[in-house]
Structure 1
Amino acid sequence: MLHTRTPWLRAAAPVAVLALSLTACGPKQDAAVSTTGSATDGEQTSAEAAAKTGTEPTGPAGGDGALTSGQSGTGPYREESGKITYEVAAQKVRVGTEADAKKMVQDPKNASGLVAATAYVKYTNKGPGVVTGLAKVANGAAFYADGQPGGLLIGTPGDLPGCEDPVDIDDWRVGESHVICQTYMIPKGAKSLEVRWTADGAAAPLVWKFTPTD
């Protein structure tokens, strides 16, 4: 999967007034998750590869391995309106430059040696009901670089291309999908990137692995 290092961050955050939280996301862990072979943008999934090789698709971390870009997993998450089952698929990761990162925080010194990485995750409401109020499913997501948790960047604009702001999502009905993006500060030059999502009660998160490119 291609991860571009482009000026997109400069367009997304022109004013350096964003608050940086270096505390990693801490999703709750209390139910099982399952994986499926759906994908987006015509990309080959582990399930498709399995059909050619005779092997089974990979499962969540702690099981048989990580999911591929666009491959989905399913698990429950408790919203204010009740517990909802979601199909979750990390689609891509965009990585900026150190110069971009310094423009995204109040004090550029906080971004020294860091870059900002944005994870694009698609969530589909599988039921049983409508999500009313502010959807919290993205709170189950986390980002890891070289095995270490990234710092969630609080206050990132929600108008990045292809991203939706949970504040603008009203009455999320069964069958509807929304792409919610979160931006994290990670060490510059990280070799291994992971998007993780933990369902309520899960013993282990779903994990999608990405390899950054120069």
Structure 2
Amino acid sequence: MLHSRTAWLRAAAPVAALALALTACGGKKGAAEPSTGSGSAGGTNSADAAPQTGAEPTRTAGGGAQRPGQSGTGQYKEESGKTTYDVVAQKVHIGTEDETKKMVQDPANAKGLIAATAYVKFTNKGPGVVKGLAKVDDGAEIYADGQRGGLLIAAPADLPGCEDPIDIDNWQVGESHVICRTYMIPEGAKALEVRWSDEGATKPLVWKFDGAGRAE
């Protein structure tokens, strides 16, 4: 089955540099970049997820700050209907300069910026199967020192630890997937946040990380 977003992503790849230029840090939500597409970056600087204690992390409904490893509950409007998800930002990978240059068509567009990738785990809580292309990852954003980063569309989505939504079909209730989103942020940013919300939500779920991508 050929998903509509598959064709869009392939078409978007040649214009990644343009999208980056239009979505520089500090842009407002709903700025020039399309809201679809997801990406990831891997490497040696990734921060591990919060240590597991054996107990299931406490879930919270609605928005607000989450503790490291804690999942929050929210809803997202998929093509097959409104779906409830448990959501947890597991870690943030801060790319190297070389990794960042490989992700953009023109390295000059990345001057002063670095790629940061949020690893977000989503668990389908129902009421039914998510059919077709899941879009729940579209709600994930990275903020650096209080400013939203620039979404890097057409970033690679097939690196270790990240799943490509295009490959997820008939997402069953109780099933979990880790989907990644890559943003360009100012190099040397001190405080990072991964935020997730449904479109139109007034209070997102928020996970805090330091400038090295370590959970706070």
Instruction: Please give the alpha-carbon distance, in whole angstroms, between the structure 2 residues aligned to 1:121 and 1:179.
Output: 5
Instruction: Please give the alpha-carbon distance, in whole angstroms, between the structure 2 residues aligned to 1:77 and 1:185.
Output: 25
1:31: which partner in 2?
none
Amino acid at match of 1:129: G
Question: Which runs of structure 1 show a deviation greater than 4 angstroms over 4 or more consecutive aligned residues?
Answer: none
Unpaired stretches in structure 2, ≥5 consecutive residues: 1-12, 31-48
2:134 matched to 1:131? no
2:52: which partner in 1?
42
Amino acid at match of 1:121: V
Deviation at 1:156, TM superposition (A): 1.4
Over 3 Å counting, the alpha-carbon distance change for 1:183 and 1:25 in structure 2 is: farther
Whether contact under 8 Å (2:123, 2:176) holds in the other structure is: yes
Instruction: Please give the alpha-carbon distance, in whole angstroms, between the structure 2 residues aligned to 1:194 and 1:176.
Output: 25
The RMSD of aligned alpha carbons is: 2.8
Whether contact under 8 Å (2:94, 2:212) holds in the other structure is: no
List per-residue Cα deviations over 1:73-116 (Å, max 9, x = no partner). Answer: 00110000000001100000000123321221111110001110
TM-score scaled to structure 2, two decimals?
0.72
Over 3 Å counting, the alpha-carbon distance change for 1:119 and 1:25 in structure 2 is: farther
Over 3 Å counting, the alpha-carbon distance change for 1:113 and 1:67 in structure 2 is: same
Unpaired stretches in structure 1, ≥5 consecutive residues: 1-15, 28-38, 49-56
Over 3 Å counting, the alpha-carbon distance change for 1:17 and 1:97 in structure 2 is: farther
Whether contact under 8 Å (1:162, 1:179) holds in the other structure is: yes
Instruction: Give aligned-pair identity as a percent.
Output: 66
2:16: which partner in 1?
19
Number of aligned pairs?
A: 175
List per-residue Cα deviations over 1:28-53 (Å, max 9, x = no partner). Answer: xxxxxxxxxxx9751699x78xxxxx
TM-score scaled to structure 1, two decimals?
0.73
Q: Which has the larger radius of gyration?
A: 1
2:186: which partner in 1?
187
